[in-house]
Chain A
Amino acid sequence: MAAVTPLLLLLLLSSAPSFSSGSRNAYNINGRVKIPQGLGLGTKGYALPGRMSNVKVLLNGGQNITFLRPDGYFSFHNIPAGTHLIEVSAIGYFFSPVRVDVSARNPGKVQAALTENRKGLSELVLEPLREEQYYEIREPFSIMSLLKSPMGLMVGFMLAVAFLMPKLVENMDPEEMRRAQEEMRSQGVPSLSSLLPGGARN
């Protein structure tokens, strides 16, 4: 492997749609997929075993499919001249499709641009635009979220009624209070205590 890498590098760096020795109208497209290390390390939620081996490079919506070598290089063979579209499929990363012009007039000239942001590429080195996080992050438990839930609000309201209402009643004028109580009794409005066991004593 080591013997061939420099050779490959030379070939790829010199011309990235490079001219092939095959028939007149067929060209090769060579490029590289680069997934920055730092980007990968940030991913905690899901591990991607054999990350590089599961990356696919697709030409023109799946007309040709190729895979990455261990160093990230890929190539398409026998491609006719024209404007092509390269897509990279990698779980966990978002790659922009790349427009690649393979011209018959000046073979070896690089004409590549990301279609998402129309950025031109001087070399066919494809990098993910962003990482894709497929799962929602669970909010850590907090008292606030518990209090905000319908049940929390219910309990809160109950407590408020149980402890604040007596306070309100205390602040009332005793005369008025008595009058209100008497009124209540005469009307026979069932109070809470009368509903509960023991309330019958009143």
Chain B
Amino acid sequence: MAIRSFFLFILFFSSSLSPVFSLYEDQVGLMDWHQQYIGKVKQAVFSSQRAGRKRVVVSTEENVIASLDLRHGEIFWRHLLGADDVIDGIDIGLGKYVITLSSGGSILRSWNLPDGQMVWESSLQGPKHSKSFLLVPTNLKFDKDNVLVVFSNGRLHAISCIDGEVLWKKDFEAESFEVQQVILPPGSDLIHVVGFAALSQFEMYQINAKNGELLKHESASFSSGFSGQVSLVSTETVVALDSTGSILLTISFQDGKISSQQTPISNLVEDSLGPAVIIPSSVSGIFAIKTDAVPIFIRVIGKGNLEVVEKTTHEIAVSDALSISEDQQAFALIQHASSEIHLTVKLAHDWDGNLLKESVKMDRQRGLVHKVFINNYIRTDRSYGFRVLIVMEDHSLLLLQQGEIVWSREDGLASIIDVTTSELPVERDGVSVAKVEHNLFEWLKGHMLKLKGTLMLASPEDMAAIQSMRLKSSEKSKMTRDHNGFRKLLIVLTRAGKLFALHTGDGRIVWSYLLRSLHKSEACQSPIGLNLYQWQVPHHHAMDENPSVLVVSRCGPSSDTSGVLSFVDTYTGKELSSLSLDHAVVQVIPLPYTDSTEQRLHLLIDADKHAHLYPKTSGALSIFKREFSNIYWYSVEDQNGIIKGHALKCKCTGEVADEFCFDTRDLWSVVFPSESEKTIATVTRKLNEVVHTQAKVVADQDVMYKYISRNLLFVATVAPKGSGEIGSVTPEESWLVAYLIDTVTGLILHRVTHHGSQGPVHAVFSENWVVYHYFNLRAHRYEMSVIEIYDQSRADNKDVWKLVLGKHNLTSPISLFSRPEVITKSQSYFFTHSLKAIAVTSTAKGITSKQLLLGTIGDQVLALDKRFLDPRRTVNPTQLEKEEGIIPLTESLPIIPQSYVTHALRVEGLRGIITVPAKLESTTLVFAHGVDLFFTQLAPSRTYDSLTEDFSYALLLITIVALVAAIFVTWRLSERKELQEKWR
């Protein structure tokens, strides 16, 4: 298919100004795919509307509110709130509005349930920070308005459900008052606010729901104090734990009088050991505590008599209560058995009887059940049926009904931490030719259809057939390596500690694996995944091995907790091995060396600045010893504003002999003055980047040599005052300094100050240039700058002979004191949008010109040709420069809508853009991830080395046939003519 010859000159021909990436609308979905996710569900509310489609409204940890189809799990609508706008509560008001409380209870919004249009928004202020509660009473009315009750920031609000107007508010200003529950007994006009004050005081306020008037205030003191949350067991009783976690306090405030009863946990459970915590639940009459990870369910009988109803050793998840009739509440309980989960639905007042008991087979890779939400429906025989929505450990969302999984959503993919790629297996013999022959007719038919399409002869049905044929092309989703390198596996690590392999052809999940090493355990309390590295990429002499990836994780949020390594096979998705390290992992340095089985050497730096070599094999060690003195790295200390360079010193001098552990030494350090500069961004070149030419021929036959060094580091610092948000600082007191630092010698090669500018800085480093995006406060616009760095010491090497024999920088000694002769060129341009991410295209051999990929604030990805960021642009380029492809200088960078690689789609919550070279030089694969995923193929200089997808083979065939026919016809004609000649 690909005509594998590099028509280099086409590169120059293609240097017209028209957008290089452009797509016809019917090409959407041919090379790209887009997947929408929502993230781990925090709260779910079922819409109780009788008519219309059944929906469930969810809020997630990615700050998404979404309305999902209860039948299929598809998204009806979805909104991603700001990063700081964490959702505290959601509910449905009047059956048609979704009410959300967010930003620590300070923003209340109402959304139209059918289409997701925001109806109103209210800002709720208050005297102090507190817990927030959102209550939507069904029958509380105020002048015909339905009322919402919101407690947030130490203030109780009653808000109209129709327009968001605050009807009344009441402050709880008492200094130490901490609200624990806001209770609305059904059918009354009272609101109970209960909480603790001064650690040992229990307070109860009774408020008139009509006008916010304080009716009663009672308090009682408990000398033993309180700990943790309270659980509401009825509208007038709460259960709390004392400060030691060993005594249960049952506090009731019937008729405004507080009475209490204390029950030591040891009275209820004989062998209880550690302090208990209350698991929040809303089932009346029952609450749950957890001691030593054992959940215990306790029933409250009468006035404060407690009774253990169940003690279980299994992992268990409980739903909130669902009222199914006037006086009946049901709740769901999920217990784990080895490969199944048991779902039971019980009535609140009847623990022993089950309304429903079902077992569902569950994929082990989904882990434990984290959350359960229950909903009921009325069956045709008028009995109650239940469906439950469960959130699993891997953040996936499943709907269970009648003992089956109705649908599932892989919402773990909304929070990707790191991405790497893996090749697919090579196609083995055995794919028969017969299959191709069988398809020949189909193939011809398809091309005839296509021809009809181009000749505008196709009927609408034909058009639909053409479109579906193009989209369903089985070629792109095969499970084998292709000649052009378009088919790969994207290996992604999610925040839930699960690895997914996605096929680049259609985005389907090939395998998924919940990392065992990221499970909570005694030794590892809160494991978090950090990074993914390519561990083994077999190509030469280890062809039979499967490629594998290395997952680096650590046991806690701080950087000095011990690390865990896991090795996962990328073909099968099985964990090959895992290592619990006895040291921390602060930095991981993949070295450019591989051992005899193609395992890449990695250097792990721990908190004590020891370097540990992996894999721990003698082969790796001997390779490492050979390159011992050539290994340098750097570290950035953000807090102190120091960048340090390191090298290896000797073997560890610890008590335990470990030949894979090495001491390190500091080589150099760059200290930024803390009163004037604060580091906000550091960027280096990609490790695997390929540079094709070192020299650049400029217009007047001159040659400029790129200063290409893998050890260049771009650092951006801002004035400490200006490190905040836009608008917090004046142009006079803000500046941005950009540095280029050599990480081996610590030499600052270039330094430039942008006065009146501030961050955030997004930068990308490639070849000999760096492009960075920042905010210019004086113009109040975003700006992008480019710095290109050239090697001046080789500038005299003008012709081939001098290039071979002349000076080059290989022989010059590398030292801090020998300054390389470099010159830099830079230029700045305005850019319209804020950025979220920036990347550059990378191709297999680095010949194809580059494009910058800008993830804009609108969650789109814009491709911008690097030629727009060329410091040699001038306002009036000369004829020679124009021929070279230099674009006249403009004040701002153009935004051409056709060059949005995401076309009319949004990659909601965009966080990162990854580019991977395909084998075909012209093409690069682009993967953008955020809450959504988007993948496409890009050809920054058009596909000059292969026929495009819309190439008409049929037209070619017809031409050939026509030519052959013409030959015969002309031959006949000539023969006849010859005959006539002879008769004459």
Contacts and interface: CB of A to CB of B under 8 A. Distances in A.
Interface stretch (A31-39, A127-135, A182-190): A127-135
A115 interface: yes
B407 to A, nearest CB: 23
A14 B435 CA distance: 74
Contact of A61 (B23, B81, B116, B857): B857
B959 interface: yes
Interface string B846-868: 00000000000111100000000
Nearest to A53: B117
B857 A89 contact: yes
A67 B725 contact: no
Given A84-B727, A141-B455, A58 B117 contact: no
A39 B873 CA distance: 35
A158 interface: yes
A159 interface: yes
Contact of A67 (B79, B123, B726): B79
Contacts of B967: 196
A70 interface: yes
Contacts of A50: 77, 115-117
A23 B126 CA distance: 10
Given A97-B832, A192-B971, A66 B781 contact: no
A62 B123 contact: no
A62 B897 contact: no
A134 B959 contact: no
A134 B82 contact: no
Interface residues on A, range: 35 or more
A68 interface: yes
B895 A94 contact: yes
B119 A70 contact: yes
Contacts of A133: 897-898
Interface string B767-798: 00000000101011110000000000000000
A116 B832 contact: yes
A22 B106 CA distance: 12
A169 to B, nearest CB: 10
B898 A134 contact: yes
A125 interface: no
Contacts of A28: 123
Given A89-B858, A97-B781, A193 B836 contact: no
Contacts of B955: 149, 151
Given A45-B25, A58-B857, A65 B81 contact: yes
B121 A67 contact: yes
A85 B832 CA distance: 11
B123 A94 contact: no
B897 A53 contact: no
Nearest to B729: A82
A60 B24 contact: no
Max count, chain B CB within 10 A of own CB: residue among A70, A94, A149, A151: A151
Interface string A79-108: 110111101011110101101001000000
Interface stretch (B516-524, B682-690, B695-703, B900-908): B900-908
A68 B112 CA distance: 12
Given A94-B895, A162-B970, A155 B727 contact: no
Given A82-B727, A84-B726, A134 B832 contact: no
B22 interface: yes
Interface string A120-145: 00000000000011111110110000
A193 B859 contact: no
A15 interface: no
B492 to A, nearest CB: 24
Interface string B150-167: 000000000000110100
A62 B904 contact: no
Given A4-B165, A53-B115, A135-B903, A63 B725 contact: yes
Contacts of B834: 58, 61-62, 85, 87, 97
Interface in B925-984: 955-956, 959, 962-963, 966-967, 969-971, 973-975, 977-978
Contact of A78 (B123, B760, B970, B978): B123
A140 B456 CA distance: 8
Max chain B C-beta neighbours (<10 A), residue from A23, A58, A89, A92: A89
Contacts of B973: 166
A89 B962 CA distance: 53
A135 B727 contact: no
A85 B959 contact: no
B897 A70 contact: no
B904 A91 contact: yes
Contacts of A58: 834, 857
B800 to A, nearest CB: 36
Nearest to B905: A91
Interface string B68-109: 000000000101111111000000000000000000001101
Contact of A83 (B77, B727, B956, B978): B727
A3 B971 CA distance: 88
B325 interface: no
Contacts of B109: 67
Contacts of B25: 45-46, 135
B974 to A, nearest CB: 6
Contact of A80 (B454, B727, B782): B727
B780 A155 contact: no
B898 A69 contact: no
Given A58-B834, A115-B781, A192 B165 contact: no
Contacts of A116: 832, 892
Contacts of B974: 192-193
Interface of A: 1, 3-4, 20, 22-23, 28, 45-46, 50, 52-53, 56, 58, 60-70, 75, 77-80, 82-85, 87, 89-92, 94, 96-97, 99, 102, 115-116, 132-138, 140-141, 149, 151, 154-155, 158-159, 162, 166, 192-193, 196, 198
Interface of B: 22-26, 28, 77, 79-85, 106-107, 109, 112, 115-121, 123, 125, 162-163, 165, 454-456, 725-728, 760, 775, 777, 779-782, 832-834, 836, 857-860, 892, 895, 897-898, 900, 903-906, 955-956, 959, 962-963, 966-967, 969-971, 973-975, 977-978
The 8 closest A-B pairs by CB, nearest first: A89-B858, A77-B123, A132-B897, A61-B834, A65-B82, A82-B727, A4-B163, A53-B117
28 contacts: A3-B162, A22-B123, A23-B125, A50-B117, A53-B116, A60-B727, A61-B857, A62-B857, A63-B82, A63-B84, A63-B725, A64-B84, A70-B119, A85-B775, A89-B858, A91-B905, A94-B895, A97-B781, A132-B900, A134-B23, A134-B904, A135-B24, A135-B25, A136-B23, A162-B969, A162-B970, A193-B974, A193-B978
Given A61-B725, A61-B775, A162-B969, 15 more contacts: A1-B119, A28-B123, A46-B904, A56-B858, A61-B857, A64-B85, A85-B727, A85-B775, A85-B780, A116-B832, A116-B892, A133-B897, A149-B955, A166-B973, A193-B971
